[in-house]
Amino acid sequence: MRQSIVVGSRSSALALVQAESVAAALRALYPQRVFTILHIRTEGDRVLSRPLVEIGGKGVFVKEIEDALLAHDVDLAVHSCKDLPTEQPAGLTIGALLARADPRDVLVARLRCPLAGLPGGARVGTGSLRRAAQLRALRPDLALADIRGNVDTRLRKLDEGQYDAIVLAAAGLSRLGLEGRVSEYFDPQVVLPAPGQGALALELRADDAEVLELIRPLDHPATRQAAGAERAFLRGLGGGCDMPIGAYAWPDGGELALRGMLAAQDGGNPFYAEGRGPAAEPEALGERLARVVLEGVPGR
């Protein structure tokens, strides 16, 4: 039995809060073991001068952490599920998905107003093609601008007047105790979140049966179903962080409902579709809806 387990995490304040929450839950379950956190800087954290789509999109916030897992420098990785590519590298697996926090996107505005209250031409910051496509459909008169950096950096840029509003994930603000900054919570069926948004994924080596057994109590079946459907939709479209794709799954009358969105690469013409199916078959639902979207989007 290993006495010490090393948990790998990005080095941002939000990532460390998330990793510490996992380590605390494991310490409560296994007080005889030691759980430490190793800070790892990813490419997405280092390269802040260019939009995510220009530095590769897929895996830019996880690759270095996955390399550390494969090198046995860490035993467990804590990721925001939305940052994970839909396929894991050979030798790695997702061992647990924790109960999902709020999956919604939120508006944080200097005027403390909702999206409808922003004046025409207001400068709204987002680093997400998915968010930009849906905001443009709702308010084509706004000036959307790229923004990079962690949550604190983005809020500072907003407060300095570089933007009139920014769009962030509700879960991140909540985990940092910053819910008071929210001007509006977007309906997740109107502004679709990123697949898996709000959920934490625990990744480990596929042959590490000991750690897999340790994290098993943290797995949340309902979150695994919803995220499974959303990520299958993403996989079916061949997408990642570099494509304007949104998805949101929720339980509905004993079934699982899924709403998905795909926009053009330039963020125009978002196409929405919805389906439902047995909750026990989330991946099949996601794959089926992806086919519906691909058939419905011109030029695909």
C-alpha neighbours within 13 Å on the C-beta side of residue 179 = 8
CA distance 29 to 185: 34
Amino acid at 34: V
Do β-strands 105-109 and 184-185 pair in parallel, antiparallel, or remain unpaired? antiparallel
What pLDDT is recorded for position 36? 97
Alpha helix (H) residue ranges in the chain: 13-29, 43-46, 63-70, 129-138, 151-159, 170-175, 209-215, 221-236, 282-296
CA distance 112 to 256: 35
Closest among 204, 227, 214, 5 to 95, alpha carbons compared: 204
What pLDDT is recorded for position 278? 97
What domains, with CATH codes, occur in the chain?
4-99+198-219 (3.40.190.10), 105-185 (3.40.190.10), 230-296 (3.30.160.40)
What pLDDT is recorded for position 264? 85
CA distance 185 to 156: 20
The question of whether 83 is a catalytic residue gets the answer: yes
What pLDDT is recorded for position 7? 98
Phi-psi region of 116 (alpha: psi -120 to 50; beta: other; left: phi over 0): alpha
Per-residue pLDDT of the chain (300 residues; tens, 9 = 90+): 899 999 999 999 999 999 999 999 999 999 999 999 999 987 666 555 455 555 455 677 899 999 999 999 999 999 999 999 988 999 999 999 999 999 999 999 999 999 999 999 999 999 999 999 999 999 999 999 999 889 999 999 999 999 999 999 999 999 999 999 999 999 999 999 999 999 999 999 999 999 999 999 999 999 999 999 999 999 999 876 568 999 999 999 889 999 999 998 777 889 999 999 999 999 999 999 999 999 887 655
What pLDDT is recorded for position 226? 98
Q: Which of 45, 75, 83, 105 is catalytic?
A: 83
The reported pTM is 0.92
What pLDDT is recorded for position 259? 98
